[in-house]
Amino acid sequence: MSLYERIKEKISDSLVKAVEDAKVAGELNFETLPSFVLEEPREKLHGDLATNLAMVLTKQAKRPPREIANVIIKNFKLEGTWVISSEIAGPGFINFKLDPMWLTGIIPEVLQQADDYGHVNLGRGQKVQVEFVSANPTGLLHMGNARGAALGDSLASLLSAAGYEVSREFYINDAGNQINNFALSLEARYLQLLGKEVPFPEGGYHGEDLIDTVKGLISQFGDKYLTVEPELRREFLVRYALNEKMAHIRQTLADLGVNYDVWFSEQSLHDSGYVKSTMEELEKKGYIYEKEGALWLKSTLFGDEKDEVVIRSNGTPTYFAADIAYHRNKFERGFDKVINIWGADHHGHVARMKGAMAALGHDPEKLQIILMQLVRLIQNGEVVRMSKRSGRYITLRELMDEVGKDAARFFFIMRDPDSTVEFDLDLAKAESSDNPVYYVQYAHARLCSILRQAQEQNLASEGVPEDGELQLLTSQEERDLLKKLADLPGEITIAARLMESHRLARYVLDLAALFHTFYNSQRVLIEDENLRKARLALVRCTKQVIRNVLGILGVSAPERM
């Protein structure tokens, strides 16, 4: 538990003790202690911490809240709480002021824990899988995939910092209908490029990148497949193109700083007979029925709006059937939590996927699906419709070339997955240098610069300063900064519990702002040796914390800018 959490817990305990003592003394009447909060008031004037305990007791105690607050304060014991004063305010809040010296305790904590500072043990080593992007290998990665990549990767890192054992996974959709479609599109391009007049298949993939792929193939193999049987030709084209596309996807994601633990092939589920046996399992349990020649899953039993086809009347399994098998496989691999990041256009899929897991006897609560709203691209003031089929989209690669890896990630991580982000391309280009990510990185570079100067002037100090030195950090700017540093473990806990990495982006922006304020108001490399040592320690801690958070977000922390 972190320093700040320990203090809060101490005060909380003292509050509980106070009302219980009051009850015994006959000063307060209540049956069961209601839940109350002890939190930082928004308004600084209201002290460091405030509780609504008196207010939530009004019903049972049958007395006005301010009167109850009085009783609580009278019985409140200060020992070990760092509380130096308490007062009743507003409708009945009790506001506490802490001895500001508690804050300096954060410096040894950060320096000792270093790269691990901020890490918490919320997960207790539970195994979690995060599956994200899982883009179809039939085209290039687009803005939606970019958002999914940034969110998924930072969420995985966040959970890892919160004490979970995390595995990142990419599901390769290398089977099914879209692959047939892909084959036909490739074949048409192949024949066209070799001078044949053939029509492009309806609903095929129009992307330019497909033509490039086929050109590459032709330069390597020529017209060798012009005369072979169409079946074999398509098989070869698909194999070649899938390899090429997947290699490209891997590389692009790696360039974005995303590295997976597992690449899982959909085709492998068909090849091993796992899709089939999973359907048989469902049938055995009585959740499958036949209608109009197809096999249906009774997903309505589990809250779905309608039943779903799993095996088509032509005998082929649907995407849903393979996905059920895939998720069953995930559960069988022993994850305590399985997280999927899906585009909002898949939300209809959520209830039936959870239902299918329940049907197979797994706990659907272990499957958590984060839906992210789609990215709307604006160019020349107009919405650009993105679609793989039409081949009209801005790629992740282009985005990175335009704004850089760090900005691309930070831009998406900053936003709540539930919000539809409007990405104005022209604006992104124009504002690429005012991106908030630079604000944070600049703070880090400044911190490094101070430490470099200290080194050069032989003023650098190692280790943890004495208490007496640290207690010289008394300015408002220093205290605000220290307080923010102390907040990190709590922020990571909340962010991990809610699975919201955007909170960390806000946190690190706030931290950077507090540092810039401090930087402009006080100098670090000063004559006074004791204060200088204390400030240098503060600088080292701030640098460490920014680094740690940027590390979780997958954004680099440059030493110079």
| Site for RNA, residues 183 to 222, rule: CB under 7 A | none
Q: What is the DSSP string of 172-238?
A: E--SSHHHHHHHHHHHHHHHHHTT---PPPTT----HHHHHHHHHHHHHHTTTTSSS-HHHHHHHHH
Q: In terms of CB distance, is 191 or 353 closer to RNA?
A: 353
Residue 431 tokens read as 């504002």
- Residues 243-282 binding RNA (CB under 7 A) are none
Reduced to 3 states, what is the DSSP secondary structure of residue 142?
Answer: strand
Rounded CA separation 383/375 (Å): 10
Beta strand extents in 415-477 (DSSP E only): 421-424
The residue (of 136 and 471) whose beta carbon lies closer to RNA is 136
Of 465-504, binders to RNA (CB under 7 A) are: 494, 498, 500, 502-503
Q: Which of 354, 333, 353 is nearest to 261 (CA)?
A: 333
Q: Which stretch binds RNA (CB under 7 A): 32-40, 162-170, 240-248, 546-554?
A: 32-40
Options 8-16, 226-234, 272-280, 445-453: segment touching RNA (CB under 7 A)? 445-453
**Per rule CB under 7 A, is residue 137 in the interface with RNA?**
no
Cα separation of the two ends of the chain: 36
314 binds RNA (CB under 7 A): yes
Q: Which residues contact 465 (CB under 8 A, 6 or more apart)?
A: 107, 533, 534, 537
The least CB distance from residue 34 to RNA, in Å, is: 10
**Residue 525: CB minimum distance to RNA, A:** 4
The one among 35, 220, 433, 458 contacting RNA by CB under 7 A: 433
Does residue 163 sit in helix, strand or coil?
Answer: coil
Q: Shortest approach of RNA to residue 311 CB, angstroms? A: 8
305 is a site residue for RNA (CB under 7 A): yes
CA atoms 117, 118, 121, 127: torsion sign: negative
**Is residue 33 a contact point for RNA (CB under 7 A)?**
no
Contacts (CB under 7 A) with RNA, residues 83-102: 89-91, 93, 95
By the rule CB under 7 A, 154 interacts with RNA:
no
Classify the C-alpha dihedral 12-18-19-24 as positive or negative.
Answer: positive
To RNA, the closest distance from the beta carbon of 527 in angstroms equals 12
CB of 57 to RNA, least distance (A): 10
Q: Does 516 bind RNA (CB under 7 A)?
A: yes
Distance between CA atoms of residues 560 and 105, nearest Å: 29
Taking the least distance from each CB to RNA, the nearer of 28 and 508 is 508
Question: For RNA, which residue of 178, 252, 278, 395 counts as binding (CB under 7 A)?
Answer: 178
Nearest distance from residue 350's CB to RNA, in Å? 8
348 binds RNA (CB under 7 A): yes
